């Protein structure tokens, strides 16, 4: 019998913008929920794309993680009172919960110099995800303070990348950053579970070449590639679950395989 109490916490990162971090976070949450798991998605990017794509509608007054992490507000476990329902109508959406943020999360960055600032997200989460199977944390591309707060609070990371030079380079930088900062973040066991290529187009020689490079770099830790499909952009654009998008069967199957692998490697 498992003695685990808190959710399995995984941050999704890459030190490059547009590397499909948020799509991977949202669709893995969807895949896990479709498999019957309860999932929280925490927003650590002031762009707040994950919150919106999960159907959360920001009224600009609801307290978010941006407020909770303010030095004057922070108390252990404060995130427990911030959960919002996923706004989707899909049957499994009730198993997805959102810890949203808004652009004011950026203000927390300048407080990096405050004593113990890197522990703020860890403290905010204390006991707040005990009711969930998984907590997925969507990171911003920067490796700055917000990302460091995220890395201090999770058990594992997943790296996503487009099969293009700069995105692969960003993946390697993120991997190396995890390795070089885990001691400083008092999170010695923090690891990278896998690398997910996304937006892959097999007709492009460049993509084929970078996927080969990724296999050399990451070996068995290279997970299945998510093909480039405009329906994913549409679903993200309109904040929809994939079940609302016609022709999404193939992509749902890909994310189900990835979600199953995530369950397996964290069991
Ligand atoms: N497999 C795919 N095929 C086609 N488009 C995709 C795919 N996956 C994601 N996209 C689209 O690519 C764009 C960038 O993806 P996303 O927002 O997830 O990147 P990101 O790494 O989170 O970016 P940022 O660094 O700004 O946070 C989005 O418009 C998204 O809908
Ligand atoms: Mg993003």
pLDDT along the chain (267 residues), means of 10: 76 98 98 98 98 97 97 97 97 98 96 92 98 98 97 98 98 98 97 98 97 98 98 98 97 98 97
DSSP-assigned letter for residue 140: P
Does the CB atom of residue 19 touch ligand 1 within 6 A? Answer: yes
pLDDT of the residue at 38:
98
Q: Which ranges in the chain belong to alpha helices (H)?
A: 21-34, 49-53, 65-68, 120-124, 145-153, 165-181, 205-218, 230-237, 249-266
What's the number of CA atoms in the CB half-sphere (13 Å) around residue 216?
7
11: which strand partners?
137, 157
Rounded CA-CA distance 122/126 in Å is 7
pLDDT of the residue at 5:
79
Does the CB atom of residue 45 touch ligand 1 within 6 A? Answer: yes
Strands 96-99 vs 84-85: parallel, antiparallel or unpaired? antiparallel
Does the CB atom of residue 20 touch ligand 1 within 6 A? Answer: yes
Does the CB atom of residue 141 touch ligand 1 within 6 A? Answer: yes
- Indicate the pTM of the whole model: 0.97
222: which strand partners?
195
Indicate the top mutation candidate among 15, 17, 23 to test ligand 1's pocket, ranked by most ligand atoms within 8 A of CB. Answer: 23
Of the candidates 74, 68, 80, the one whose C-alpha atom is nearest the C-alpha of residue 130 is 80
Does the CB atom of residue 108 touch ligand 1 within 6 A? Answer: no
Contact partners, residue 10, CB within 8 Å, separation at least 6:
134, 135, 136, 137, 154, 155, 156, 157, 158, 193, 262, 266
Spacing, Cα 3 to ligand 2 middle (Å):
33
pLDDT of the residue at 14:
98
The fold of 8-266 is: Rossmann fold (3.40.50)
pLDDT of the residue at 1:
43
pLDDT of the residue at 115:
87
């Amino acid at each position: 019998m498992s003695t685990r109490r808190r959710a399995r916490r995984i941050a999704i990162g890459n030190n490059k913008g547009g590397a499909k971090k948020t799509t991977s976070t949202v669709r893995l949450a969807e895949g896990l929920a479709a498999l019957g798991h309860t999932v929280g998605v925490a927003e650590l990017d002031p762009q707040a794309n994950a919150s919106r794509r999960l159907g959360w509608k920001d009224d600009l007054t609801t307290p978010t993680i941006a407020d909770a992490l303010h030095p004057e507000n922070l108390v252990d476990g404060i995130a427990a009172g911030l959960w919002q329902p996923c706004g989707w109508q899909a049957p499994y959406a009730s198993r997805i919960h959102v810890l949203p943020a808004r652009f004011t999360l950026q203000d927390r960055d300048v407080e990096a110099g405050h004593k113990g600032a890197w522990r703020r997200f860890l403290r905010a989460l204390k006991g707040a995800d005990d009711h969930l199977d998984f907590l997925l944390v969507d990171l911003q591309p920067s490796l700055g303070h917000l990302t460091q707060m995220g890395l201090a609070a999770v058990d594992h990371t997943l790296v996503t990348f487009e099969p293009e030079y700069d995105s692969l380079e960003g993946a390697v930088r993120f991997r190396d950053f995890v390795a070089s900062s885990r001691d400083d973040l008092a999170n010695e066991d923090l690891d990278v579970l896998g690398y997910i290529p996304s937006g892959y187009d097999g007709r492009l020689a460049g993509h084929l070449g970078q996927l080969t490079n990724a296999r050399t770099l990451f070996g068995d830790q290279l997970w299945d590639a998510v093909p480039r499909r405009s329906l994913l952009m549409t679903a993200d654009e309109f904040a929809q679950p994939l079940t609302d998008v016609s022709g999404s069967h193939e992509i749902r199957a890909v994310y189900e395989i990835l979600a199953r692998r995530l369950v397996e490697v964290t069991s």
